[in-house]
Structure 1
Amino acid sequence: MLKMAIMKNRKTRRTKAIRYVLMAFLSTTLNGAVNASDAGFTNPILRGGYPDPSICRKGDDFYVVNSSFEYFPGLPIHHSKDLINWELIGYGLHRPEQASSAVNLVDVQSDGGIHAPSIRCHNDRYYIITTNVYSPPEPGVPTQMVNFVITADDPAGPWSQPHVIEGAPGIDPDLFFESDGTVWYVGNHAPENPAFQGEGEIWLQQLDPTEWKLIGERYFLWRGALKGAIWAEGPHIYKKDGRYYLLIAEGGTSFDHAVTVASSDSLTGPYIGNSRNPILTSRHLSYDNWVNSTGHADLVELDDGRWFAVALGIRSDIARRSNMGRESHLIPVIWEEEPYEWKAEKLTWPVFAPSSGRVERENPSPFPGTRQNKPSTFVDNFDQANLKLDWNFRRVPKPGLFSLQAREGFLRLYADAALPRNRGRASLMGIRQTESDFEYIAEMKFEPLHEGSQAGITLFQKDDNYMRFTVEQTDSGYRLAVHVREARSEYENSLETLELTDYQGRIQLRIDSSKSSYALAYSLDEGKTWAEVASVPGDKFISQGYTGAYLGLFALSQQNQPGDFADFDWVKYAPRPRF
């Protein structure tokens, strides 16, 4: 009876899946090419710096978590009902005390911090497991890989304090919940006898989920499928029809990035690689393909038996790169049995993007009839009790950095004497740049007490790569200044200065990005007229590391002259997608 029920359930799910595929096919065929206005969707599904996506499902709800590296709050979590429209609902690391001790985001180095999380739901409880990569500032002290788990009853939070897993080397861990009730830690490390420099190995060990300790024997599963490909990492294990599937990333997170898969009839191995590996990559395509570096995937099964994957990729908007860095994309997945007649046991494997084998920009909707919302304008009038979720800081901000209560309807940003620097915490906050073309405006009231204090807007990639567009008090009044620090340069350059003879304490500052160039302008009459100050090439802020660009607010004071601040009335960010 049980076997018959299982077979009936599988048949029902297969019928649903076929119906959805046919509906999507007919929708695409009858309507022609899918575009943003049809019942389809455009990749990426999470636009802006949202790399290393991991996905889970509970009922009709989907959740994605992404790497956040040195940013705070960390571990952004999005929710969706249809896989194509996503809402930011919270962060896994949302309290300073979660990120100020064993997990250190206070003085973490650039491109350190939170790497490649995995989100899972088990028995109505949510788990995120991830790594904090921290290099102590003391010379000669080795980098620390702090692997930890946080839990929550609601993915919107609150999330627990980190449970650090001792004795767990490597990065990019995953949790696998076996049907017998055991919990398993899946990680990577450098093997004892590597065949080549940079070789990685995936390992597995049982985890006690009450004491958060590794127990029992450690099993070494797989070193990857691509000959000479470095960094076997990002492992995820799935169980389907009694077999286990190990999905990993290989080749590094640039143009050679790839997804490969292996399978075993036992959780602990041995694992056999798919002869058609890699199953997702852009390494075989032109460097000028619309998206490159695709990889680091995670799979999710729908209620009707269909499968999809989320994976990262980099849009080739500017010189084969982009200012947004690595973003999250959605890919359909089917499972196919091997056709080889000579094989005694024919294995079944996942096939990514079965019609093309690559991440496509335009796609049919996973649920026919649903439409993807167009990228919307972000406006913050600072009239809420708490800061909107979109705002991030580079590292855990200093206490008292800003206030939403000091002046009603304004965000007050207190000036600090620090410029952006590695491990530093400047008076700086921002939202993600989500498109290459956009308009960003902020209205500011700024009347400091001390000469040399300045405040305004900014675009920043890293501690050593940013642009500041500020109002500065001088000995004779006020002036506008544009400062640019190019990637990996030691100092910033003053690009432009302009005396503000008619400044009365209130100003609008604008960055308008078009044709791969940033135009900076200001208005003293509430946006009625604008005067352009400078134009900065967009390629000066191409993502060079793990994260993308942010558009933000900034305030600077001179040393030993505290007390100055800027009041921001509102901020508006209007993206202009290049569909």
Structure 2
Amino acid sequence: MTVVHNPILPGCHPDPTICRVGDEFYLVTSTFEYLPGLPVLRSRDLVNWEPIGHVIDRPGMLDMVGMRSSSGLYAPTLRFHEGTFYLVCTLVDQNDGGRGGNFVVTATDPAGPWSDPIWLDVDGIDPSIFFDDDGRAWMHGTRLAREPQWHDQTEVWLRELDLQEMELIGEEHILWRGAVLGAVWTEGPHLYKVDGAYVLLAAEGGTEFHHAISVARADAVTGPYVGNKANPVLTHRHLGRGADIIGVGHADLVEAADGSWWSVMLAMRPYGGYHYNLGRETFLVPVVWEDGWPVFAPGEGRVPLEVDVPFAIDWAPGATQGDSTGIVPPDDPRWTALRAVPTEIAVSSGDGWTLPLRAESLAEPLVPAFLGIRQQHVDVDVVVALDADLQDGEEAGLVVRQSERDHVRLSIVGGSHTDRRVSAIHRNGDGEHLLGEMPLACDATDSVVLALRIRGQAYELCAGRTPQELDVVAVADGAALDSVATGGFLGLWLGVHGTSNGAPTSTELHIRSFEYVPR
């Protein structure tokens, strides 16, 4: 038996969906405006996860330009049926630009390539797919109730899916409108068939502090569904905001090869007050069945920080699960860009990247020159060596990103050789203010080292000629950057950016190395 630590996927990995094929598990999470989108991870033990690809990984699959932060790819569902992997998902355009909707993609190898999206004629969000043992396929999802009894009441709908034509057919059925009177945002629905009964799993309460997991059951896939008397069957909202894990919800179930059942779900770990800079992470809990109902974390009734996984392969307590540390090379699957895949905006070069500056800035919902990875640890050092012969009005450097409206930049600012400086700037809403500044005593062509020393909510911004000679430029307050403070659905990303701030440019930023070291 191996004791492993939750979360199994640290950092912003929300809305996990899971399926098993043979001895291997596959898991996908939401990615919103970041591309490549919808990472696919593989495991043989539910603990050690290997990134094997992304579902949305090539130019032209989706048009996301102009979609503001916390838009994009929401709540996928991954399933396997007769040799084919199916993934359904919602593209959300909060600008209401008409590009959103629900789609399905398929692949015979979960590592890809995946098909181009096939759009489904349904509204709402959080689609899921269920393959019955009679060969029929059923789509279900959630939307605002057509005849609500209270504000923000939602309903789970169901229709049959024609797998040949990839279109919905037949009558629509309303399965569920929430377990609790007055509950809002019933979402993330999934159907299963266990011992001849149809089991509907859904979250409700909104994907924040009041999140909860409820379950209903029926004798026929179309219902009627009867809720469990124990609903909600798992939540942490009654523990208060001082709990070590909050916001538990959006779960998916999977049966292991040994017959045991498990659930992955999202939750958050607050620290430094009621803030969760790492975003919504993926957690694991055991499940047993009693009287035809799933019991989550039996004997505890809450998501534990440690889980006994009898079939887990070697894992050392304290080790990082699902990621590597140290130098992050260009082929590391953690690299993401905004609304474009990284190879559309940058070229890999040795241990680093060549990133041409763009006129777009981080304050615009477009495609800026930005490459970043998730912050996955509370305490971490990020050290970047870079150089660029910046012109007047240009800037490039490190960024702690929540959104276009909320981020902190540690930027080299272009100018004459005697006027070069590094500035720490906090963008908050529509305004910016200077956190600190210092001159750069180096030539324009010399490499500069920029660093983040993150300790809890203190984000120390440093600069110098070498990693051993760093001066503190400013200290940013991480509590002003998480989604509690700013809104939205994301954890923080740490990355590199460059912009000419609207002017034509031919300047290139050379990222010599990018190091991520947990402390």
Calculate the TM-score normalised by the size of structure 2.
0.95
Equivalent in the alignment of 1:50: 13
- Inter-CA distance 217–367: structure 2 relative to 1 (3 Å threshold): same
- Inter-CA distance 514–490: structure 2 relative to 1 (3 Å threshold): same
Amino acid at match of 1:553: V
Which residue of 320, 328, 347 maps to 1:380?
328
Aligned partners of 1:201 and 1:492: how far apart in 2?
A: 41
Superposition RMSD in Å:
1.8
Residue 439 (1) aligns with residue 370 (2): no
Residue 240 (1) aligns with residue 240 (2): no
Following superposition, the deviation at residue 378 of structure 1 comes to 4.1
Aligned partners of 1:372 and 1:217: how far apart in 2?
A: 52
Aligned partners of 2:170 and 2:392: how far apart in 1?
A: 64
Secondary structure of the residue aligned to 1:360 is: coil
Give CA-to-partner distance per residue, 1:202-228, whole Å, 9 cap, x none: 111111112111111111111121110
Residue 474 (1) aligns with residue 422 (2): no
Equivalent in the alignment of 1:20: none
Aligned partners of 2:508 and 2:60: how far apart in 1?
A: 26
Aligned partners of 1:218 and 1:318: how far apart in 2?
A: 47
Amino acid at match of 1:423: P
Equivalent in the alignment of 2:259: 305
Amino acid at match of 2:328: D
Residue 483 (1) aligns with residue 440 (2): no
Secondary structure of the residue aligned to 1:193 is: coil
Q: 2:45·2:312 contact (CA, 8 Å) conserved in 1?
A: no
Which residue of 112, 119, 132 maps to 2:71?
112
Matches within 5 A, 1:76-475: 76-100=39-63, 105-136=64-95, 145-166=100-121, 168-337=122-291, 348-367=292-311, 370-372=314-316, 374-375=319-320, 376-382=324-330, 387-396=331-340, 401-404=345-348, 409-448=351-390, 450-475=391-416
- Inter-CA distance 145–473: structure 2 relative to 1 (3 Å threshold): closer
Give CA-to-partner distance per residue, 1:20-62, whole Å, 9 cap, x none: xxxx5xxxxxxxxxxxxxx311111111111000000011111
Q: 1:135·1:144 contact (CA, 8 Å) conserved in 2?
A: no
- Inter-CA distance 528–233: structure 2 relative to 1 (3 Å threshold): closer
Amino acid at match of 1:541: L
Residue 566 (1) aligns with residue 509 (2): yes
The structure that has the greater radius of gyration is 1
Secondary structure of the residue aligned to 2:60 is: helix
Calculate the TM-score normalised by the size of structure 1.
0.85
Following superposition, the deviation at residue 473 of structure 1 comes to 2.0
Equivalent in the alignment of 2:464: 523
Q: 1:292·1:315 contact (CA, 8 Å) conserved in 2?
A: yes
Secondary structure of the residue aligned to 2:126 is: coil
- Inter-CA distance 560–463: structure 2 relative to 1 (3 Å threshold): closer
Q: 2:397·2:498 contact (CA, 8 Å) conserved in 1?
A: yes
Amino acid at match of 2:303: V
Following superposition, the deviation at residue 401 of structure 1 comes to 2.1
Aligned partners of 2:341 and 2:111: how far apart in 1?
A: 21
Give CA-to-partner distance per residue, 1:151-203, whole Å, 9 cap, x none: 1111111110001111x121101111111111111112222211111111111
Following superposition, the deviation at residue 117 of structure 1 comes to 0.6
Give CA-to-partner distance per residue, 1:227-278, whole Å, 9 cap, x none: 1010111110000111100000111011110000000111111000000011
Secondary structure of the residue aligned to 2:276 is: coil
Q: 1:152·1:159 contact (CA, 8 Å) conserved in 2?
A: yes
Q: 1:413·1:427 contact (CA, 8 Å) conserved in 2?
A: yes
Aligned partners of 1:398 and 1:331: how far apart in 2?
A: 34
Following superposition, the deviation at residue 106 of structure 1 comes to 2.0
- Inter-CA distance 456–300: structure 2 relative to 1 (3 Å threshold): same
Following superposition, the deviation at residue 145 of structure 1 comes to 4.6
Aligned partners of 1:240 and 1:573: how far apart in 2?
A: 44
Amino acid at match of 1:431: I
- Inter-CA distance 499–42: structure 2 relative to 1 (3 Å threshold): same
Secondary structure of the residue aligned to 2:420 is: strand
Secondary structure of the residue aligned to 2:91 is: strand
Once the two structures are aligned, what percentage of the paired residues are identical? 37
Secondary structure of the residue aligned to 1:316 is: coil
- Inter-CA distance 73–532: structure 2 relative to 1 (3 Å threshold): same
Aligned partners of 1:113 and 1:94: how far apart in 2?
A: 14
Following superposition, the deviation at residue 366 of structure 1 comes to 4.1
Q: 2:46·2:312 contact (CA, 8 Å) conserved in 1?
A: no
Aligned partners of 2:57 and 2:313: how far apart in 1?
A: 36
Amino acid at match of 1:254: E
Aligned partners of 1:509 and 1:79: how far apart in 2?
A: 34
